[in-house]
Amino acid sequence: MRRDVTFRSVLKAVSREAGWEILRAVAEGPTRFTYLEKNARVSPRTLSERLKELTELGLIERVAYPEVPPRVEYTLTARGRTVIEILGALEEVL
Amino acid sequence: MRRDVTFRSVLKAVSREAGWEILRAVAEGPTRFTYLEKNARVSPRTLSERLKELTELGLIERVAYPEVPPRVEYTLTARGRTVIEILGALEEVL
DNA sequence: CAGGATCCAATTGGATACTG
DNA sequence: CAGTATCCAATTGGATCCTG
Residue B87 pLDDT class (50, 70, 90 cuts): very high
pLDDT over 90 (residue A5): no
Look at A87 and B69; give whichever has higher pLDDT: A87
Residue-wise pLDDT tens digits, B19-50: 999 999 999 999 999 999 999 999 999 999 99
Provide the percentage of residues in chain B whose pLDDT is more than 90: 90
pLDDT recorded at residue A1: 46
Residue nearest to nucleotide D5 (CA to C1'): A45
* pTM as predicted: 0.93
Contact B7 A82 (CB under 8 A): no
Q: Which of B11, B86, B93 sits opposite A82 (nearest CB)?
A: B93
Residue-wise pLDDT tens digits, A31-75: 999 999 999 999 999 999 999 999 999 999 999 999 988 999 999
How many angstroms away from the CA of B75 is the closest CA of chain A?
A: 19
pLDDT recorded at residue B16: 97
pLDDT recorded at residue A3: 63
pLDDT over 70 (residue B1): no
Residues whose C-beta lies under 7 Å from strand D: A 32-35, 44-45, 48, 51-52, 62, 69-73; B 12, 16-18, 42-46, 49, 69-70
- Over residues A81-94, the mean pLDDT reads 97
Cβ-defined contacts of B26-35 (< 8 Å, 24+): B26/B54, B26/B60, B26/B74, B26/B75, B26/B76, B26/B80, B27/B76, B27/B80, B27/B81, B27/B84, B29/B75, B30/B63, B30/B73, B30/B74, B30/B75, B31/B73, B31/B74, B31/B75, B32/B71, B32/B72, B32/B73, B32/B74, B33/B72
pLDDT recorded at residue B41: 92
- Over residues A5-12, the mean pLDDT reads 93
- Over residues B74-92, the mean pLDDT reads 98
Provide the percentage of residues in chain A whose pLDDT is more than 90: 90
Q: Which nucleotides of D are covered by protein (CB under 7 A)?
A: 1-6, 12-17, 20
Residue B53 pLDDT class (50, 70, 90 cuts): very high
